[in-house]
């Protein structure tokens, strides 16, 4: 089946990928290995279709069973209090297009009395930070941004009766080695991959206001104590339109909001994000996805699960599956457009080009090479792109192209994939459009199912915003009509690279091509935030 022209009217989001914040001990598998026991076997729930078979040790199925039985144990003891939990102002997320760097945002309430923040959602990093006791923050006045009808806020821990300092002695204080005393308030710095882009300040603990729906309950308000970066000083992209009001890291690290909520027993250790074709979406903590979803295991890097990495076996364009197109990729909502390893990119782009019935063209200022002329009346059929995962799971990219608008409407489109060095790509938000993506940290699996992102907390379809009007009233084409503008310039976020490649770095001859490898290194090694001592940062050059 080919995608229909209407699907070409996609939303997209800007690329700003952030590698995750490291917390030690996120090695789920090793934690679970010693839980393998007869007891675990007894807890396994029999399936009625097949006989029960305990798998051979150390294969994927084995780990999956371990995780499942581990979870069943925990559930017997604790249970999770709520089925689904979402921000108190609703589960809806919005992309404001070019104005806010194409990322998805949601409103969250923090503190007592509560203050609202419009935070960017980033599964590629861990920390939730907001502008706070500002020394250097992005402008917060609504008049500075075209999409906002209210001013953004600044957080003041001293003004919130529920805020607490996180001391250097706290288990989640990564920078404790640099503290003068253990009682000192824990500082943090995160350097993202975009040059000179960082957030730094002090860690605090405060209340995040959430709402929940249970199996038989209506909305209940839920208050959870979370760790928040009081972002006193931002730089680079964060002063320039990306995440002016903070960022919520949703990575696997212990400090991330989904991790904290699961640890507190409020939800199961999973969350979902759904991105629809009209710049809006949903986020639900605790969501495990529908039973019919497809899925694939997360892969460790360097033995650790610090970002959400998956392994693609091969890629298919239309009905032809291409040889030698396997790769691993970080799944990242904080990256707007997908990057694939060079050789995979070439195979896909050539096959795509072969199958498209349109004249190739180029759009200066756009980052994509395979662009075609078109008109509003007749967008040619775009062959679909399918990613094939192990065990016959497949992911059909509903819309692999970016439609380019001129003064008179559609002027063409581009295959919205960029090549990159190394063999770990990044599956960005444009590939996830039309799907409910489940980041299941219990099963260590990514799940997906096609979805129009309806409200799971409500039986009936809810309106787009509390007052019934779309939060982002701009038609999709207006948001995209910024040829050559910042919209498509590849601003990159991500953590600053480590000073030296570690064992997990590719050992192929290309290794000396250091610069283009940086994204890969960042993704693979994910430096602990900014200790001047241990990251001989090489970005100054
Ligand atoms: C629950 O609250 C959310 C946001 O506050 C709202 O969108 C949703 O409709 C509510 N659901 C019910 C069943 O009240
Ligand atoms: C936030 O504060 C306002 C008024 O200060 C209150 O009406 C609202 O219910 C609060 N929201 C939450 C989630 O506590
Ligand atoms: C980053 O900061 C350095 C030193 O302040 C400066 O020389 C460089 O031009 C900056 N890079 C960008 C992209 O702003
Ligand atoms: C390609 O497009 C042209 C003009 O739009 C059309 O006449 C032709 O039939 C198309 N060919 C295929 C193979 O679709
Ligand atoms: C994978 O799925 C396809 C279509 O559903 C089916 O034809 C094929 O036999 C399956 N392959 C395996 C190995 O299960």
Q: Does ligand 3 lie within 6 Å of residue 195's CB atom?
A: yes
Assigned domain for 324 exists = yes
Residues 236 and 269 in one domain: yes
Residues 191 and 323 in one domain: no
Q: Does ligand 1 lie within 6 Å of residue 462's CB atom?
A: yes
Paired strand residues for 208:
110, 224
Residue 233 belongs to what H/E stretch?
A: strand 220-235
* pLDDT higher than threshold 60 for residue 65: no
Residues 99 and 159 in one domain: yes
Q: Among the options 21, 70, 99, 122, which is catalytic?
A: 122
Q: Residues 82, 87, 88, 90: is their CA dihedral positive or negative?
A: negative
Q: 154-168, 175-189, 511-525: lowest mean pLDDT where?
A: 511-525
Assigned domain for 504 exists = no
Decide: helix, strand or coil at residue 131: strand
Which candidate, 246, 243, 245, 271, places its Cα nearest to that of 257? 271
The rounded Å distance from CA 84 to ligand 2 centre is 20
* d(C-alpha 512, C-alpha 144), whole Å: 43
**Owning domain of residue 412:** 294-479
Ligand 1, atom 13, lies closest to the CA of 458
Cβ atoms 496, 535 nearer than 8 A: yes
Ligand 1, atom 4, lies closest to the CA of 90
Domain-terminating residue out of 436, 451, 479: 479
Assigned domain for 465 exists = yes
Question: Nearest ligand, CA of residue 379?
Answer: 4
User: If pLDDT is split at 50, 70 and 90, which confidence band does 382 have?
Assistant: confident
* d(C-alpha 320, C-alpha 300), whole Å: 30
Assigned domain for 48 exists = no
User: Hey, what are 125's tokens?
Assistant: 């990093």
- The residue whose CB lies within 8 Å of the most ligand 3 atoms, and thus the one to mutate among 16, 195, 237, 240, is 195
Burial zone of 187 (CB within 10 Å; 0-12 exposed, 13-18 middle, 19+ buried): buried
* pLDDT higher than threshold 60 for residue 302: yes
Domain-terminating residue out of 285, 302, 337: 285
Q: Any idea what the CATH number is for the domain that residue 200 is in?
A: 2.40.70.10
Domain-terminating residue out of 437, 456, 479: 479
User: Hey, what are 33's tokens?
Assistant: 């290995």
**Higher pLDDT, residue 147 or 23:** 147
**HSE (side-chain half, CA atoms, 13 Å) at 379:** 24
Question: Nearest ligand, CA of residue 237?
Answer: 3
Tally the domains of the chain: 2
**HSE (side-chain half, CA atoms, 13 Å) at 223:** 10
Question: Nearest ligand, CA of residue 217?
Answer: 1
Residues 325 and 218 in one domain: no
* d(C-alpha 537, C-alpha 115), whole Å: 35
Cβ atoms 157, 513 nearer than 8 A: no
Cβ atoms 433, 398 nearer than 8 A: yes
Residues 96 and 162 in one domain: yes
The whole-number pLDDT of residue 91 equals 93
Query: Residue 458 CA: which ligand 1 atom is closest?
Result: 13
* d(C-alpha 341, C-alpha 63), whole Å: 28
* pLDDT higher than threshold 60 for residue 529: no
Residues 229 and 373 in one domain: no
Average pLDDT over the chain, rounded to whole? Answer: 72
* d(C-alpha 273, C-alpha 281), whole Å: 7
User: Hey, what are 193's tokens?
Assistant: 């991959």
Cut 0.75: pTM above it: no
The rounded Å distance from CA 393 to ligand 5 centre is 9
Residues 104 and 155 in one domain: yes
User: If pLDDT is split at 50, 70 and 90, which confidence band does 215 have?
Assistant: low
Q: Does ligand 2 lie within 6 Å of residue 481's CB atom?
A: no
Cβ atoms 29, 300 nearer than 8 A: yes
Q: Does ligand 1 lie within 6 Å of residue 457's CB atom?
A: yes
Q: Does ligand 1 lie within 6 Å of residue 456's CB atom?
A: no
Per the rule left: phi > 0, alpha: psi between -120 and 50, beta: everything else, 241 is: left
* d(C-alpha 104, C-alpha 263), whole Å: 25
Residues 475 and 418 in one domain: yes
Which candidate, 245, 269, 246, places its Cα nearest to that of 257? 269
Residues 248 and 386 in one domain: no
**Higher pLDDT, residue 517 or 307:** 307
Cβ atoms 486, 336 nearer than 8 A: no
Assigned domain for 455 exists = yes
Residue 520 belongs to what H/E stretch?
A: helix 514-525
Catalytic annotation on 332? Answer: yes
Residues 344 and 425 in one domain: yes
Q: Among the options 206, 279, 332, 440, which is catalytic?
A: 332
Question: Which 8-state DSSP code applies to residue 53?
Answer: -
Select the highest-mean-pLDDT range: 127-136, 241-250, 362-371. 127-136
User: Hey, what are 296's tokens?
Assistant: 């694939």
Q: Does ligand 2 lie within 6 Å of residue 351's CB atom?
A: no
Residues 447 and 375 in one domain: yes
| Nearest-10 Cα torsion for 243, 244, 249, 254 | 160
Question: Nearest ligand, CA of residue 377?
Answer: 4
The whole-number pLDDT of residue 196 equals 79
Phi, psi (deg, nearest 5) at residue 207? -90, 130
Assigned domain for 273 exists = yes
The whole-number pLDDT of residue 405 equals 83
Distance of CA 420 to the CA centre of its chain: 19
Paired strand residues for 270:
440
Go through the chain and tell me how many residues it has: 541
Assigned domain for 51 exists = no
Residues 224 and 309 in one domain: no
* Residue 393 CB contacts under 8 Å (≥ 6 apart), including other chains: 294, 295, 296
Share of the chain above pLDDT 70, in %: 68
For the chain, give the longest Cα–Cα distance: 69
The whole-number pLDDT of residue 169 equals 94
Mean pLDDT, residues 66-89: 65
Q: Does ligand 2 lie within 6 Å of residue 153's CB atom?
A: no
The whole-number pLDDT of residue 278 equals 83
Assigned domain for 71 exists = no
Catalytic annotation on 122? Answer: yes
* d(C-alpha 98, C-alpha 118), whole Å: 16
The rounded Å distance from CA 231 to ligand 3 centre is 21
* pLDDT higher than threshold 80 for residue 258: yes
Q: Does ligand 1 lie within 6 Å of residue 464's CB atom?
A: no
């Amino acid at each position: 089946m080919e995608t229909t022209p209407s699907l070409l009217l996609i939303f997209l989001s800007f690329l700003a990928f952030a590698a995750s914040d490291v917390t030690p001990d996120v090695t789920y598998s090793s934690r679970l290995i010693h839980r393998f026991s007869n007891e675990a076997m007894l807890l396994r729930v029999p399936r009625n279709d097949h006989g029960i078979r305990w798998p051979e040790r150390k294969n994927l199925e084995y780990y999956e069973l371990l995780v499942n039985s581990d979870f069943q144990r925990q559930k017997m003891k604790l249970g999770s209090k709520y089925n689904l939990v979402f921000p108190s102002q609703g589960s809806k997320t919005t992309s404001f297009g070019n104005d806010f760097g194409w990322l998805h945002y949601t409103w969250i309430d923090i503190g007592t009395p509560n203050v609202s923040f419009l935070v960017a959602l980033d599964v590629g990093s861990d920390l939730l930070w907001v502008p706070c006791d500002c020394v250097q923050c992005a402008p917060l006045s609504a008049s500075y941004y075209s999409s906002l009808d209210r001013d953004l806020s600044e957080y003041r821990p001293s003004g919130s009766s529920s805020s607490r300092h996180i001391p250097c002695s706290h288990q989640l204080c990564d920078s404790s080695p640099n503290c003068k005393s253990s009682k000192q308030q824990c500082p943090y710095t995160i350097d993202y991959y975009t040059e000179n882009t960082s957030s730094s300040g002090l860690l605090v603990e405060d209340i995040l206001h959430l709402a929940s729906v249970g199996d038989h309950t209506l909305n209940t308000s839920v208050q959870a104590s979370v760790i928040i970066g009081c972002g006193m000083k931002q730089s680079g992209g964060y002063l320039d339109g990306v995440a002016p009001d903070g960022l919520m890291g949703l990575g696997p690290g212990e400090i991330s909001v989904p991790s904290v909520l699961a640890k507190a027993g409020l939800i199961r250790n999973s969350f979902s994000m759904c991105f629809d074709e009209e710049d809006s979406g949903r986020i639900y903590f605790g969501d495990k996805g529908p039973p019919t979803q497809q899925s694939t295991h997360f892969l460790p890097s360097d033995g650790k699960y610090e970002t959400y990495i998956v392994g693609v076996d091969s890629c298919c364009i239309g009905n032809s599956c291409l040889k030698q197109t396997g790769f691993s990729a970080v799944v990242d909502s904080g990256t707007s457009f997908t990057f694939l390893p060079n050789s995979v990119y070439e195979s896909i782009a050539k096959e795509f080009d072969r199958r498209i019935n349109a004249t190739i063209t180029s759009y200066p200022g756009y980052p994509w090479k395979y662009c075609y002329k078109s008109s509003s009346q007749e967008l040619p059929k775009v062959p679909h792109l399918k990613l094939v995962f192990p065990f016959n799971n497949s992911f059909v990219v509903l819309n692999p192209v970016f439609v380019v608008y001129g003064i008179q409407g559609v002027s063409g489109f581009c295959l919205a994939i960029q090549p990159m060095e190394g063999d770990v790509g990044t599956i960005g938000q444009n590939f996830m459009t039309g799907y409910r993506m489940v980041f299941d940290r219990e099963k260590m699996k990514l799940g997906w199912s096609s979805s129009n992102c309806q409200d799971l907390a409500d039986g009936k379809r809810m309106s787009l915003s509390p007052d019934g009007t779309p939060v982002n009233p701009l038609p999709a084409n207006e948001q995209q009509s910024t040829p050559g503008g910042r919209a498509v310039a590849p601003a990159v976020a991500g953590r600053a690279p480590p000073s030296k490649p570690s064992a997990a770095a590719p050992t192929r001859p290309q290794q000396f091509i250091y610069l283009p490898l940086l994204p890969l290194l960042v993704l693979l090694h994910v430096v602990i935030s900014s200790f001047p001592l241990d990251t001989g940062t090489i970005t100054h050059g």
